[in-house]
Chains A and B, each alone.
Chain A
């Protein structure tokens, strides 16, 4: 709780009695829900404004690695003095139009920040804190103090999800278990070439009922495919996982071990070529991997082998490489430390609005695909 009080003090450091507003009360901004999962939508409402007043609704986030990110939309209050971000049109800012979640997905580093920043939550056990505030005016909105503000929590972990460090059998990973007695369908979550242990997608998948392990497969010093098989076995054999209901999610470089497990690996016993259902998600403006071309090639190979009925594809025009969970900000490029420790600016591609729509759409479809294949209904079974 300390961080929340300190947040108020740090960000709004000039607390003073404004006797001029004693007779009029400030507007009220409210967000529902105030505590939500990162893939849940919220509603932002501003009330008690004078009618027809231009205002800016702004989000502000202080990331785990110390940078400030913001988004804002320009609105005009209606005849009742309200602004409803879910229904009204933003006429400018970091997003325009009717965008209920624009205050999150259009976030970018505040003016004066370093170039090439990327927003990623490192600590899963605490929420992302976003301050939503309302300011007078449009272009000059930063000149004055916020009229009102509210703090919103965005969580990767639902209550009751357990985070477990995995350091056995030479593995380096993090397992997230959903609440409840189990057993649960399992997922091996493989990130990309950026390395390290990236936990947020696993935490979110566990919040949706999948026992999910994220794996650091680049710094293990072992052949990747063997290492990934060991991880897959670990999940399969876990007492709280249903052994024949384990899937793999791979992003970027992680797609390769994922495809390996689906096709050639002897671990997945009844597989030759690809015999498990496969979902390929591609951004057509991917400047990092030729993901669209790769998907086309896989499609042709599977058609020739006669198993393309297993393949589903999601291709998104104008989307870049980093298709993340929904409402995460898009960045066309960011700094990346290469394997020989050199810093480079990597172009990921994509335009913000189509990329954000792709994140929202693909996540919903990924969850649906996972639920369909890992948790079939009893009706279908009998």
Chain B
């Protein structure tokens, strides 16, 4: 036991120190992982471990060698191997993967955003690749990663027949507002809206596929449902009624673009679409849009592992204008986030077509396209792990695409630029001021 006198092992345990700063951060903040007081040239493995709400375990690890001062600084030093390599300050988060023996097709998504993601960061002796659970680390710390900043309020909304969750930043307001639409993947996901509220934007995560009314009556919502959500934001006492944006991912982009162009009620300040397309029956309801895709489902392709590729369902981009939202009529700035290895939606082709439509119409000055080589469909807030495939609605395995490193860089870059875009349009903040805000950690040490 440790009490049996001074062994070298005990001294090593005493000596190697591990710190992660900040120990409590937002999901999109960087941290600095520092190992100190090791022997110079000491080989060590830094390991991250996370136990999901759904009971699955994820891990990441990287191999380092302590420098002449006995220090490893993950933000500055090179990982020699592991789940990532090279100089990667946040690699221990974005390279997290299910532990060996896990079910295939898992995806890491936080359901309860009122508690933090708790990640254990540990240091092990030597360059190890497995069996971490059976060993005692030299040191370990717990790190909290939050979707909600202190003071952000989470409010479930059920009025007007809406099923949604509103996140309001701390303080009086008034705040700019945002309507947040997810994709076809399942129940309401709140984390992006929570994170946006942590950045000063009152955000409404709207359930438009499985809201209470649909679950009770079996009928899908009509297009007025989105307008009701917009009016709800407009009338909220803490929200600026003239500063409301809309953000859609995947299927959510389809309805975002439709409402942005055609709604007489919604006067949006700006629009962001991630991994989406303008191709749809423009007069169609939610049900009809889904039906259109269903009709084309024979275009589904399969990988050799039977994973479904859905990007062809909307291809080729139609020439018939009744099947694509006329973005030439858009009156507010539009940001398209496009992954070039998107295997789920034809985002690159759609973006190209939208650009041409806007150039012809003379409003292409409103368009910003962010295009990322080797990124897959699911562009999430930064530092969340990339998955190339996962179970879709617990029934089939979908291929999303993307390679881990490029996808993770795309998530980080896109989020930064989405925040700048939203702030510029919702707050009128000049870009050069915004650039001063860095998510670096400031310490008294």
Contact = CB atoms under 8 A, between A and B. Distances in A.
B444 interface: yes
B140 A21 contact: no
Interface in B116-162: 118, 120, 122, 136-144, 146, 148-154
Nearest to A43: B442
B170 A33 contact: no
B13 A33 contact: no
B149 A34 contact: yes
B427 A4 contact: no
Nearest to A12: B172
Given A28-B427, A32-B442, A180-B141, A151 B39 contact: no
A159 B174 CA distance: 33
Contacts of A40: 22, 442-444
Interface residues of A, number: 75
Nearest to A84: B436
The binding surface of chain B is classed by DSSP as loop
A35 B140 contact: no
A377 B70 CA distance: 9
Given A43-B442, A179-B142, A17 B174 contact: yes
Contact of A47 (B70, B144, B429): B429
A159 B143 contact: yes
Contact of B12 (A18, A129, A378): A378
A229 B13 CA distance: 27
A133 B3 CA distance: 52
Contacts of A148: 171-172
A159 B238 contact: no
Interface stretch (B23-31, B204-212, B316-324): B23-31
Contact of A183 (B14, B152, B171, B429): B14
B437 interface: yes
Contacts of B146: 35
A15 B242 contact: no
A278 to B, nearest CB: 22
Given A4-B153, A7-B151, A16-B237, A181 B172 contact: no
Contacts of B17: 209, 375
Interface of A: 1, 4-5, 7-8, 12, 15-18, 21-23, 25-26, 28-30, 32-37, 39-43, 45, 47-48, 80-82, 127, 129, 131, 133, 145-146, 148-153, 155, 158-160, 179-185, 209, 237, 239-240, 242-245, 326, 360, 364, 375-379, 381
Nearest to B25: A33
B304 interface: no
Contacts of A26: 172-174
B110 interface: no
15 contacts: A25-B176, A26-B174, A32-B440, A33-B441, A35-B25, A35-B150, A36-B22, A82-B433, A148-B172, A150-B149, A151-B151, A153-B24, A155-B24, A179-B142, A237-B3
A146 B70 contact: no
Nearest to A30: B437
Nearest to B240: A22
B242 A23 contact: yes
